[in-house]
Amino acid sequence: MCLAIPGKIEKIIGNDPLSRMGKVNFGGIVKEASLAYVPEAEIGDYVIVHAGFAISIVDEDEAAKTFEYLKEMGDLAELEEGPA
C-alpha cells in the first residue's frame, strides 16, 4: 500500500516549477520528491508526499500528528524500503 507521508523540505533543487525537486526529511530519512504540484513550497515547509510527489503543504503540528499515527500503525517501514 502506498501512503501519503508528511516531511520537511530541507533543500530545493532547480528553479523551473515543473522540474523542481526537494530533499524532504521524513523523521530522519531523507528522500527526493517532486515539488511540481506545490510551486509555492519553500525550504522549511512541511509537505505531504505520495508516490514521489509533494501533493500539499501542511503545518508542522498536522505533520507531527500524522507522523505519530503512522508510527503507531507501524506503517513507516515503507519509507526505508522504497522511494517516497
Name the β-bridge partners of 47: 7, 57
C-alpha cell at 59: 503545518
- What are the residues whose beta carbons fall under 8 Å from the beta carbon of 28, sequence distance 6 or more? none
Residue by residue, pLDDT tens for the chain (84 residues) are 467 889 999 999 999 989 999 999 988 899 999 999 999 999 999 999 999 999 999 999 999 888 788 778 776 555 555 554
Task: Return the pLDDT at 51.
Answer: 93
Within 1-84, residue ranges assigned H as helices are 60-73, 77-81
For the whole model, what pTM was predicted? Answer: 0.81
Task: Return the pLDDT at 46.
Answer: 97
Task: Return the pLDDT at 82.
Answer: 54
- Delineate the domains of the chain, giving CATH numbers in brackets: 5-81 (2.30.30.140)
Task: Return the pLDDT at 70.
Answer: 76
